[in-house]
Amino acid sequence: MSDPIIQMKNIEKHFGSVIALAGVSVDIQAGECHCLLGDNGAGKSTFIKTMSGVHKPTKGEIVFEGKAMNFANPRDAITAGIATVHQHLGMIPLMSVSRNFFMGNEPIKKFGPIKMFDHDYANDVAMAEMRKMGINLRGPDQAVGTLSGGERQTVAIARAVHFGAKVLILDEPTSALGVRQTANVLATIDKVRKQGIAVVFITHNVRHAMAVGDRFTVLNRGKTLGTALKGEITPEELQDMMAGGQEMATLEGSLGGTV
Amino acid sequence: MSDVSNGDERIKATSKFRQALMRPELGGMVGTVAVFVFFGLFAFDSGMFNSQGVMNWSVVSAQFMIIAVGACLLMIAGEFDLSVGSMIGFAGMMIAIFGVTLGWPMWIAILVTFVICVAFGALNGYIVVKTGLPSFIVTLATLFILRGFTIFIPQTLERKTIIGGIREAAEGDWLAPIFGAEIGKPIFVWLGDMGIINVFERGNRAGEPVVNGIPMLIVWALGLVIVGHFILTRTRFGNWIYAAGGDADAARNAGVPVSSVKIRMFMFTAFCATVFAVCQVMEFGSAGADRGILKEFEAIIAVVIGGALLTGGYGSVIGAALGALIFGVVQQGLFFANVESSLFRVFLGVILLAAVILNTYIRRTITGER
């Protein structure tokens, strides 16, 4: 295996008296889909926010492309190539697809001393990138609010890829989607991975993780129980680890193993 | 995903009509046409559409426009400023204190007033951004604080609440005419000579046109509308304004400096209020402690008539300008049409309600009912 693109070493994060992360170590390879699983409150969101520069770790070290890094804010992380597609999307429903696509990275056209938003370029690129991902828009000025949940996810992913993400963090991209839209998003993840981008896929759905994941890391109560390769672990084992084992086994028994 | 790429068969083709409905300016455009048709039918002979009449409602509309541009960009950025009216009174009073009471050169008085007022705007923004409190409450506090000072300072210094003599103090100043002068006089003289507009028939101004030129107030209004519209629709910063108001968290995650955008919009609103105030004191020649009362609401109403959403993230400067025009035309038109002027408030209430209902409908259409 080559050197990992990003290594998180013994990350701890405390919020006042609450210990959200109690020493988590994960490494992520380029071109892999690394699934981060965990139940609600396990520390998944805190962990990826630490990775993407939103939080500074209380203790521990982050190594990105071989160098220890210290991001002051999310913008630094984005510039370095760590992009996050958030649970709540980071899309603004009232704005058009192309305005959303270039939000924070607006292309500039100079007109004398005046710098203008280059709408033609933005529109062309947004349409082309969406077509690549298999979505045909009515027009670049279509408001994001009119897209389906899966399409919005795809806009967000296409945006991150277009802006040169090396590590793409997806925060529960499938949690609010229907079956068909989930399949679309999983297919998009597969496309992105094949371009050599490292995908960190956060989910609490074991089946979604199994569908595209290369490796699996389970977080539980701010700790990790290690990383497993695809084929080394069964969905049932993952489920048990996420829920913390014992009580879940009892619960599952009473539900006839359907969860 | 093949069927996705061919479009979704469940999405109905949208008609041109519905697409036009998506434009935030639509309400403003329809309203503008409606008020002109209305007053054209009922007040055409009243003098509303001769040169004096046009100048009359143009000036009033331009006043609304100046503060509406600021309020519009701020509202799209997701915030309100209720201190606009007090800021107008305060700024006018500061100019009078500096320029008349203290006897500073008028240009220094104007510039210092701009600095103080924009700093208050920045303070409004800073408090809103830092505390996360609703801007409604923060600027409501500023409304009272500024109004209090506007009454206290002249009373302490001059023992009165109206300070005159500003026009005399501004005599020969280089900056004051930029707010108080009229331009294009030769054109109006020519129009008068050609008989296109009325001229005075007797008195010591006989032969001069009844309208002397275009007040700088109108030039400022149009300039601010054009600059505001350009910034909002054609620049990167404009995209940030939409983003900051549409969803501040999402914008922050995408790297938009939301706090800085909002603070700058508060400063711009204060700037617009100060422009209004300077033009007003130059026109009246005096500053009064009660100037600008309720202007903040009139600005917000003009913006809402212009199609902006109270919740931010959507709106148009052109729409707000049309809202201000409707405002001015109706307010003055009712006077020309000899309608009881208190009915203007009834009209305001009704049109505000209608605009908000229409805007809510439009928003639901855009976001697919969410």
Contact B90/B150 with Cβ under 8 angstroms? yes
Whether pLDDT at B62 is above 50: yes
Residues with pLDDT less than 70, chain A: 1-2, 87-89, 244-259
Neighbour tally for B289: CB within 10 Å: 23
Whether the pLDDT of residue B30 is over 60: the answer is yes
User: Considering only alpha carbons, which residue of chain B is nearest residue A160?
Assistant: B254
Question: Which residues of chain A does B309 touch, with a Cβ-Cβ cutoff of 8 Å?
Answer: 94
Instruction: Please say whether the beta carbons of B73 and B265 come within 8 A.
Output: yes
Highest mean pLDDT among B27-36, B109-118, B282-291: B109-118
**Where are the extended beta strands (E) located within chain A?**
6-15, 18-28, 33-38, 59-64, 67-68, 82-85, 108-111, 114-117, 167-171, 198-203, 215-220, 223-229
| Nearest CB to B239 within list A86, A88, A99 | A99
Report residue B78 as tokens: 């997701």
- How many other β-carbons are positioned within 10 Å of the β-carbon of residue A182? 21
Point out which residues pair with A21 in neighbouring strands.
A13
Neighbouring-strand partners of residue A11? A24
β-pair partners for A15: A18
The Cα of A134 is separated from the nearest Cα of chain B by a number of Å equal to: 6
Q: What angle do CA A90, B127, B234 make, to 5 degrees?
A: 45
CA–CA separation, B183 vs B187, rounded Å? 9
Beta bridge partners of B140: none
- CA distances to A53, B280, B298, B341 from B210, rounded to whole Å, are 66, 21, 30, 25
Task: Please say if the pLDDT value at position B61 is more than 70.
Answer: yes
Chain B residues in contact with A184 (beta carbon < 8 A): 1, 4
Q: State the pLDDT at residue B52.
A: 86
Residue B162, by phi and psi: left (phi above 0), alpha (psi -120 to 50) or beta? beta
Distance CA B30, CA A182 (A): 43
Higher pLDDT, A185 or B291: B291
Q: B5 and A105: CB-CB below 8 Å?
A: no
pLDDT recorded at residue A236: 80
pLDDT in tens, A188-222: 888 888 888 999 999 888 888 888 889 998 888 88
**Largest Cα–Cα distance in chain A?**
72
Nearest CA among A1, A6, A3 for reference residue A199: A6
From the CA of B335, how many Å to the nearest CA of chain A?
40
Residues B304 and B22 sit within 8 Å (Cβ to Cβ): no
Give percent of chain B above pLDDT 70: 93
Question: How far off is chain B from A89, nearest CA to CA, in Å?
Answer: 7
pLDDT at B231: 95
Q: What is the mean pLDDT of residues B44-50?
A: 85
What tokens appear for B323 in the block? 């809202």
Contact A131 B5 (CB under 8 A): yes
Q: Is the pLDDT of residue B9 over 60?
A: no
pLDDT one-digit tens code per residue, B249-265: 888 878 889 999 999 99
Separation CA B287–CA A161 (nearest Å): 58
Candidate from A86, A95, A105 with C-beta closest to B246: A95
Nearest to A51 by CA among A17, A89, A9: A9
Q: Is 70 exceeded by the pLDDT of residue B1?
A: no
Determine whether the interchain pair B254/A103 forms a contact, defined as Cβ–Cβ distance below 8 Å: yes
**Contact B9/A at CB under 8 A:** no
Which positions ≥6 away from B31 have C-beta within 8 Å? B305, B322, B323, B326, B351
Listed in sequence order, the DSSP H helices in B206-247 are 216-234, 236-246
Q: Is the pLDDT of residue B216 over 70?
A: yes
Q: Could you give the domains of chain A?
A: 6-91+168-254 (3.40.50.300)
With CA atoms as reference, the chain A residue closest to B365 would be A146
B1, B250, B256 member nearest A89 (Cβ):
B250
Nearest-CA distance from B283 to chain A in Å?
34
How far apart (Å, rounded) are the C-alpha atoms in residues A210 and A102? 32
Question: Any idea what DSSP says for residue B209?
Answer: B
Chain A positions in Cβ-Cβ contact with residue B226 (cut-off 8 Å) = none
- Which pLDDT tens digit goes with each residue over A242-256? 776 555 556 666 666
Q: pLDDT tens, B146-157?
A: 999 999 999 999
pTM: 0.85
Identify the contact set of chain A against chain B, taking CB-CB distances under 8 A: 74-75, 78, 84, 86, 88-95, 99, 102-106, 108, 115-117, 119, 131, 134-136, 138, 143, 145-146, 148, 151, 184, 187
Contact B88, B159 (CB under 8 A): no
Count of CB pairs separated by less than 8 Å, A with B: 101
